[in-house]
Structure 1
């Protein structure tokens, strides 16, 4: 049995406010050294996630910009990924996104949307909670455009409907919404399962998330793990997902709590190697 930990970053593995994971860094390394695989799945940019890999001191496979593409998939242990890098055919470049947006989204709704790229640098840093270098990495987007929305929930639903009708997607993360093509972090989970199934051990997908843009991949998990925020509030993913683990505390320690509880559901049997 091969355990594949598919994890969101902000608010799931990284602290919600400080984006830190130092408290569990050595534990992550121990999990990797034990043969478990970590796959990151985030709305973050490619360069942001590469920065996380540098801080961790390990290259790991990752899904970037909410499923716009994948990197390092040749690192999936024991499988034969066809490509190290892959761009989702549903991904749309940012200039093309804006062209569709301008053509099909009514002015009244567009006026409620405030793209991060159009804000001054101070407002960008305050909203995203990032320092100068981290902000530069976050703004290097190729397939998504983060924005804030000022208006009632009913208008958000209307925006999502019209965006989908125009061939676009609006997804909600921890701090902002993201405009992109109609792709999702979950798009690559069937491929991960298929590639890993080529190995001699059966893959077990343990998926960890905290926000609405994690719901689809949590629903595809063998074990779903939801990480609460610092107030103890947590994402509801609906019925039918069993087992689902709700971590007892926020990230980053809650991430480790959830992983260890998920692994405990599969006790090691004598003579059996679980990776």
Structure 2
């Protein structure tokens, strides 16, 4: 038998793009909770954002922040006991990417040749206005440790040149649902794969990875998953996922599509009601 592990994006996938609600996914979430199937939040959000959100979603599993830059495992978990504990004492942490400070140092000279605005230049009020988040939530979104999201204000060609210059400095550019993210050479797929190995060691059984996402920054995760679900977006066309002829594209957007896809997978794997 193979055990199921779910790795899911949040904004536009499990959370509605406009309201940030997961209510439409609750039937599938209840099934996962009842069957104790780990559903790992794998997102561009920060640690500060995810702590209250995990409580709201009743999620106690490991989680991945800032597009795969770091993975946090609750200290009570038996997974990866040799990892160092983070400064809060609440988690063990596996870091995959460089610090945000290094990224900001690399971006400073580029800001004179390309047009963009980074989170470091925004106020919580301005970010709240742009995203629909409450100002307090926007402040949590700005508490980044490993990445710098940008509002790209230059041409598409300039973005390619910008990405090439950053690549020479060992950084990469990823497009998300709302922002362009500058980060190290790691992604959601690396964190998902590493965590699957930890579960495989813990369970002593094969692991089937199911990934769900809606944006360009989910492509790596969707390419590497055993079961890949591209959740339809109300705001942008689905990105191409090279090499995946078995990809599932949901009929409904956001959490409604997420719900249908997860329930269908549970049935397919003989885990549904």
User: Taking structure 2 as the reference length, what is the TM-score of the superposition?
Assistant: 0.88
**Of 99, 110, 116, the match for 1:93:** 99
**Of 202, 208, 215, the match for 1:211:** 215
Q: Secondary structure of the residue that 1:60 maps to in structure 2?
A: coil
In the other structure, the counterpart of 1:201 is 205
Q: Does structure 2 retain, via aligned residues, the 8 Å contact 1:73–1:81?
A: no
**Of 225, 229, 233, the match for 2:233:** 229
Q: Does structure 2 retain, via aligned residues, the 8 Å contact 1:42–1:64?
A: yes
Looking at structure 1, the residues matched to 59 and 199 of structure 2 have their Cα atoms a distance apart, in angstroms, of 20
Looking at structure 1, the residues matched to 126 and 218 of structure 2 have their Cα atoms a distance apart, in angstroms, of 26
Q: Can you give the 5+ residue segments of structure 1 that lack an aligned partner in the other structure? A: 269-273
Q: Does structure 2 retain, via aligned residues, the 8 Å contact 1:59–1:72?
A: no
Q: Secondary structure of the residue that 1:248 maps to in structure 2?
A: strand
Structure 1 residues 98 and 32: alpha-carbon distance in aligned structure 2, compared to 1, 3 A threshold:
same
Q: Does structure 1 retain, via aligned residues, the 8 Å contact 2:48–2:140?
A: yes
1:132-211 to 2 correspondences below 5 Å: 132-198=135-201, 199-211=203-215
Once the two structures are superposed, residues 104-127 of structure 1 have per-residue CA deviations (whole angstroms, 9 ceiling, x without a partner) of: x37222xx1111331344321122
Q: Can you give the 5+ residue segments of structure 2 that lack an aligned partner in the other structure? A: 84-90
Looking at structure 1, the residues matched to 19 and 184 of structure 2 have their Cα atoms a distance apart, in angstroms, of 29
Once the two structures are superposed, residues 217-238 of structure 1 have per-residue CA deviations (whole angstroms, 9 ceiling, x without a partner) of: 1111001000011268322212
The two structures, once aligned, show a CA RMSD in angstroms of 2.2
User: Taking structure 1 as the reference length, what is the TM-score of the superposition?
Assistant: 0.87
Q: Secondary structure of the residue that 2:68 maps to in structure 1?
A: coil
Structure 1 residues 101 and 117: alpha-carbon distance in aligned structure 2, compared to 1, 3 A threshold:
closer
Q: Does structure 2 retain, via aligned residues, the 8 Å contact 1:204–1:222?
A: yes
